[in-house]
Amino acid sequence: MALGALLGAYLEDDSGSLRALVPLAGRSLLEYQVRCASAAGAAPVVVMVERVPQALQDAFERLRSDGYGVFPVSDVREVASRFEAGSAILLIGDGIAPPAQLLLDMAADAEPVIAVVPDDDGHQQHERIDAQSRWAGVAVVDSPMLAATAAILGDWDLQSTLLRRAVQEGAARIAVQGDLEPLLVETPGQLQTFESNLLAASRQPRDDWASRYLLSPVEELTTAQLMDSSIRPAWLLWAALLLTLAAAVTFTRGWLGAGLVCLCLSAPLDLIAARLAVLRLRPLPPAPWLRRLLWPAAGLALAALGFWEMRHNTGWGALVTAFAAAAFAEAARIESQPHARETDIWLFSRRNAIFLAIPFALAGAWTSYLIALLVYSAASFFLVQHVRRTIAELTRS
């Protein structure tokens, strides 16, 4: 069954601004709602409006530039015509900040259902359904119900009237609480905790010791700062790739310290990009091509370092050592993929190799660093092989 979404952007907060424009994670609440609905598979996304101030128009333009099919509508009859016959409609109340998981759960069955919260002191601002429950701000209705409601609406509020009709027709109810409870936003300050929860939920697995113990503060701080910006995750991946290639170039010129600085700057960028993508409800693919290129680009930088050391210090052995380290590292990476474990953070990785260089750089012992990388990558490879053999033996037995 097709799924669409119906949102509202006409209620005002205490300052006279639209609730839909309250800032959230660097965008507006409306943009967050649209991204949540689209992540749940809803298309089109129709927004009921009475007026379109410039800030709201800007939000619509940003959404369209990101590929979201969003349509502002002020006429009720046009709202009904926007949806396919027989489709399900995800209803999100004006000023509601819903957890994305709740929308995914409700959209999965696409059957009429209403999310409810208790009728208690903590939910007095929510719309009452009966003596025991109030509307949490999210529901699923169907297009015939919307068309019938629009036909008799008159001067009534569409979302409230549609909710009443769904209650009268016996739509199922689900009680939401805890992390799945939507937030009714009336002032910008109410979103601070919600935004903090979004930031915490965007954390990705840290699969090497450098990202877990060295880069996590940088990742947290930078993600929080960039969350409010217009920077796209792909730009950060491009920056990481260009910095890695710049390191390779600087190594060939003998600017070894500058090359290491470029590599250190590149190290957290793909982690931050992944978190920004999650915050904007468009997670990166498991292996985006830009991210895949970081590994061979780092190998190129390693070869460039070995080439410089060969020509100016320790002869051909440095270049052979660099190539051997790269080969063992690639073999370990390929072999370890099906058997990821918690202890794998100590195995060879691009970020681990970058930060391992710092003490050797301070001592000016670059050839020793290449030897250390060879030992590290070889040890990682043989450890992975041992684990694979152990798993194979246990499987056979």
**pLDDT digit string (tens) for the chain, length 397 residues:** 689 999 999 888 767 788 899 888 778 899 999 999 998 999 899 999 988 889 999 999 999 988 898 999 988 878 888 888 888 999 999 989 999 889 999 988 778 899 999 988 888 888 899 888 999 999 999 988 888 888 777 656 788 888 888 998 888 999 998 888 999 887 777 788 888 888 888 888 888 999 999 999 999 999 989 987 888 899 999 999 999 999 999 999 999 999 999 999 999 999 999 999 888 878 777 667 888 999 999 999 999 999 999 999 888 999 999 999 999 999 988 887 655 566 789 999 999 999 999 999 999 999 999 999 999 999 999 998 888 787 777 777 6
Structure tokens at 234: 């792909």
CA triple 99-104-109, angle to 5 deg = 140
Determine the distance from the C-alpha atom of residue 360 to the mean position of all C-alpha atoms in its chain, rounded to a whole number: 36
CA dist 163 and 135 (Å) reads: 8
Q: Where in the chain is the domain with CATH 1.20.120.1760?
A: 202-396
Q: Which residue has the tokens 């037995």?
A: 397
pLDDT for 155 = 56
Q: Which amino acid is residue 40, in one-letter code? A: A
Element (H, E) at 115: strand 113-118
The alpha-helical segments, DSSP class H, found in the chain are: 29-39, 54-65, 76-81, 100-109, 143-151, 158-168, 191-201, 209, 216-226, 233-252, 256-266, 269-279, 289-309, 316-336, 350-363, 366-396
- Name the CATH superfamily for 202-396: CDP-alcohol phosphotransferase transmembrane (TM) domain (1.20.120.1760)
CA dist 379 and 370 (Å) reads: 14
Q: Where in the chain is the domain with CATH 3.90.550.10?
A: 3-187
Structure tokens at 384: 């992975």
Alpha carbon distances (Å) from 116 to 163, 168, 221, 351, 355: 11, 15, 36, 46, 51
pLDDT for 385 = 86
pLDDT for 191 = 80
Contacts of 39 (CB under 8 A, 6+ apart): 100, 103, 104, 281, 282
Contacts of 394 (CB under 8 A, 6+ apart): none
Structure tokens at 122: 């903590």
Contacts of 120 (CB under 8 A, 6+ apart): none
SS3 109: helix
Alpha carbon distances (Å) from 319 to 19, 83, 102: 62, 64, 55
Sign of CA dihedral 103, 108, 110, 116: negative
Query: DSSP secondary structure string, 312-335?
Result: IIITHHHHHHHHHHHHHHHHHHHH
CA dist 296 and 244 (Å) reads: 10
- Which CATH fold would you assign to the domain 3-187? Spore Coat Polysaccharide Biosynthesis Protein SpsA; Chain A (3.90.550)
Question: pTM of the predicted model, to two decimals?
Answer: 0.82
CA dist 326 and 346 (Å) reads: 17
